[in-house]
Chains A and B, each alone.
Chain A
Amino acid sequence: MTENPARESRLLRGVHRTVTGLHPALESIVAAIVGLLIGAVLMYIWGFDPWKAYWALLRGAYGGSYEWASSLARATPLILTALTFSICVRAGMFNIGAEGQMMMGAMAAVCVALFAAPTVLHLIIGLVFAAVAGALWSVVPAILKVSRGVSEVISTIMFNWIGRWLALYLAIYVIVDRMRPEKTLTVPVTARFPILVRGTDLSASIFLAVGVALVMYFLLWHTTMGYEVRAAGLNPTAARYGGIRSKRTMIISFLLGGITAGLAGATIAMGLPPSYAIFGGGAFPELTNLGFDGMAVAMVGRNHPIGILVAALFFGGLNAGGRVMQFYGSNPVPLEMIRVVMGAIVLAMAIPELIRLFPAIKNQGERFFAVLRRRRETRSKEGKA
């Protein structure tokens, strides 16, 4: 396509080396500063005082114990959905399906409202439900990929939509609260995560999220299975030559991803005050976009479980502090502007990892277009025949 592919790839490699040559932590900090500067310029142009706004953001995010608790509460589901994306990236695949898997997990967790059980057991049953539902929703695209070579990007995006509508159907018609039909049944007290800091949203679900992240770190870096997953991600051909069953690693990474996404849904249904239920009427106002936000968290966290913990704390802070920017002192910034600024910061911070992932993304795209081209060729041949 391009006139000089050698020159293009040299340029790309140069950019790649400059960006990735920095220490990852330094790189993230530079990216964050660039993002904040872009946000500041945007706010300045539209007549808001960036200093006051950022001061509000900082204070709202980390200004005290209440603020820390709020930030951690918002970080909890993001840790889990970020793990979904990053495990599959480590295995060399793009799992865009966290959103749908999380919604199925949330619906499964709500089902604990249908029966009674003792306190801790009830909670554990709900988590198992959510994990199984997330895993089931994730394993179908994995099987399609392994058996038929269906691109997981396409299939997981499609499964997001199927999952969303199925979950909405369940929320509106099946596990609906008959007295308040705009929401699902309420998760009973016996199956809720206890609140850690009174007067905030922070519940014990944060321990679940951090625990899962640590387990994933251990699995990926300290077990044979994890080694195989990462090896298959780094170079599938070499891994297969080395005796690693790539189909098995694909299925495993998707299953693990589905489990974490399902648990993310459970942390909302069972750990988010005050409703402990999912609102179908507003089309899932608590759940929507957590799966996609998780992808940004994963990229900023360099697809490493420990990095994700740090990145999620940063994102949780952006969320919690961003709220405060709306009514801080004499410089209220409207929510729309706050979202623009957040978008600029997130984009700037994701760019280094995006560039690193670029070869893989490019491969995916080329494979996809190759399939299209082949199909067109066969069709034109058929036409001639």
Chain B
Amino acid sequence: MELEGADTGIPGGTKEFKEVALKRLLAVTLMLILGVSLLGMAAGKVAVVLDVGGRGDLSFNDMGFKGTDQAAKDFGLQMIEVQCATGADYLPNIRNVARTGDYDLIICVGFLLGDALAAASTEFPNQKFAIIDVDYITGPNIMNFVFRENEQSALVGALAGMSAAYHGYSAAGVVLGIEIPVLWHFEAGFRYGMDWGLKAFAKHEGKAPSVNLLYTYTGTFSDIALGKAASEAMLAQGAVGVYNVAGPLGVGDHEAVAEAHGNLGTLYGPPYFYGVDANQDFIGNGFHGIASGMKRVDTACYMAVEAVVKGQFKAGVTSLGLKEGGVAISKVGDLADFILFGISGGSVSADDFYTIIANWAQNRSTIPGWIWDAVDTLEAGILDGSIVVPTASTGDQIAAVRAQYTLGAP
């Protein structure tokens, strides 16, 4: 096209004319290239800012990256990730990205970024933001995403309660991190679910089991050794397994469970390990991880990008539960997804794919089908709204839940 135009633009055959035409041709091509690249830029950019935990945790941060990356691919956007080396980087990193004005959306993954985003969002009123696990940042340019962790924990609690009763154990354990309101959601849900599970067991077997709840707030999200110590104490007190509610501490919890199996000389069956946030069933080649209460950070990030692309950006708090696919109890399909995720992260060898699934399936078969069906019943009840799982966000509320579902505590 341009060539034809250029040809007709040359009336004579003199050298100057040719040069002028050549320059015009060049200008037209340049403008075309510029136009195309502008179009490419108009397709948009998203940034995901991670806290000091950083990539490689195969959990919270990696899921935030995965969800945003997937959305960027699906909607044809450019995506960058910004990690923070120290806590002092949070605010400057958000500011640096927002200052460019190039990004349609900046996603902050994790509550540690809350203060920084609250400050930055008022400085850049035209920049759209999203944040995970924070519900207190008001402002017309921020989507807050929170999860109804009580729902996923209720499912895990029901499973743990019933499996303890079935295998004749006297307790089920929960190892938590720092006692913050988010963790109260987990505790409240687990208490309700465990109570529900024990009642379901009593109804099925015709006799009420005696199973206690053991729980510890370790005060840390990073000290794996403390998680192991807390788990060992619970297993020694007769716990059928431990539910990890402290991210990385799960590695320590799993170690404690694996060592207990080593002492018993067993490979499958109780004690079990219950994972959190990501699908952690694949930890330790699929041995002992029976189910995970998943918190789909990736889904939230995907939804945030989707909302911006489709012009449905909605400031305020979006709560994600079972119904919205924000939380779930792990199933076989997720396991395959997350093993692939682990392989891409380099922490799982590709050769182990089928071994892990086989180990996991073998372990799951140590719990009878009717218990799994009961968990599905609870899930269906929560989904259709006939069952409402209690939650707690304040000290008074958790005290009330603890008083209602004592689970063996005097």
Q: Which residues of A contact B (CB under 8 A)?
A: 60, 66, 70, 74, 172-173, 180-182, 199-201, 268, 272-275, 279-289, 319-320, 322-324, 326-327, 332, 334-335, 339
Most buried by B among A173, A199, A272: A199
- The CA-CA distance from A324 to B92 in the complex, in Å, is 10
Residues of chain A contacted by B221 (CB below 8 angstroms): 281-282
Say which residue of A60, A282, A326 sits within 8 Å of B87 (CB atoms).
A282
CB of B30 closer than 8 Å to a CB of A: no
Q: How far, in angstroms, from A124 to B180 measured CA to CA in the complex?
A: 32
A182 touches B91 (CB 8 A): no
Q: Report whether B51 and A326 are in contact in the complex, using a CB–CB cutoff of 8 Å.
A: no
B54 at interface (Cβ–Cβ under 8 A)? yes
- B42 partner residues in chain A, CB cutoff 8 A: none
Asked whether A286 and B111 contact (CB < 8 A) given A181-B178, A182-B180, the answer is: no
Contact A335 B178 (CB under 8 A): no
Residue numbers in B under 8 Å from A60 (CB-CB): 96
Interface contact B88-A272, CB-CB below 8 Å: yes
Cβ 8 A contact of B92, one of A279, A283, A323, A327: A323
Q: Quick one: which of B77-106 are within 8 Å of A by CB?
A: 80-89, 91-93, 95-97, 99-100
Q: How many Å lie between the Cα of A115 and that of B222 in the bound state?
A: 32
Complexed CA–CA distance, A71 and B193 (Å): 51
Give residues of chain B (212-256) contacting chain A, Cβ–Cβ below 8 Å. Answer: 219-222
Q: Which residues of B contact A181 (CB under 8 A)?
A: 178-180
* A182–B80 touching, CB < 8 Å: no
Is B87's CB under 8 angstroms from A285's CB?
yes
Complex-state Cα separation, A70 to B92, whole angstroms: 8
Closest chain-A Cβ to B59's Cβ sits at a distance in Å of 15
A286, B83: Cβ atoms closer than 8 Å: no
Shortest beta-carbon distance, B278 to chain A, in Å?
A: 19
Would you call B123 an interface residue if the criterion is a C-beta within 8 Å of the partner chain's C-beta atoms? yes
In the complex with contacts A182-B178, A289-B86, A339-B85, A172-B96 CB distance below 8 A: no
Determine if A74 and B88 form an interchain contact, defined as CB atoms under 8 angstroms apart: yes
A282 to B95, CA, bound (A): 21
In the complex formed, the residue of B with least CB distance to A327 is B80
Would you give 7 A-B contacts (Cβ < 8 Å), ordered by A? Answer: A172-B178, A274-B115, A281-B180, A282-B221, A283-B222, A327-B80, A335-B84
Closest residue of chain B to A332 (Cβ to Cβ) is B80
Decide if B118 touches A286 in the complex (CB within 8 Å): no
Provide the bound-state CA to CA distance between A247 and B351, in Å. 64
Residues of A within 8 A of B51 (CB): 282, 285
With contacts A181-B178, A199-B123, A273-B119 taken as known, whether A285 is within 8 angstroms of B86 at the C-beta atoms is yes
**A343 to B83 CA separation, bound complex (whole angstroms):** 17
Is residue B159 contacting chain A, with contact meaning CB distance below 8 A? no
Q: Is the CB of B111 within 8 A of A288?
A: no
B80 & A273 in contact (Cβ 8 Å cutoff):
no
Q: For the complex, what is the distance from the CA of A173 to the CA of B217, rounded to whole Å?
A: 12
Complex CA–CA separation, A279 to B114 (angstroms): 12
Residues of A within 8 A of B80 (CB): 326-327, 332
Are A286 and B88 interface neighbours, CB within 8 A? yes
The docked-state distance in angstroms from the alpha carbon of A327 to that of B83 is 10
Contact of A323 among B53, B96, B123, B178 (CB under 8 A): B96
Is B52 at the interface (CB under 8 A from chain A)? yes
Instruction: Give bound CA distance, A23 to B47, whole Å.
Output: 45
Q: Is the CB–CB distance between B88 and A268 below 8 Å? A: yes
Q: Report B-chain residues with C-beta under 8 Å of the C-beta of A274.
A: 91, 115-116, 118-119
Contacts of A74 in B (CB 8 A): 88
Beyond A275-B115, A327-B47, 18 additional contacts (C-beta under 8 Å) are: A70-B92, A74-B88, A180-B180, A181-B179, A182-B112, A199-B95, A273-B91, A275-B116, A282-B52, A285-B87, A285-B112, A319-B85, A322-B85, A323-B93, A326-B93, A327-B100, A332-B80, A335-B84
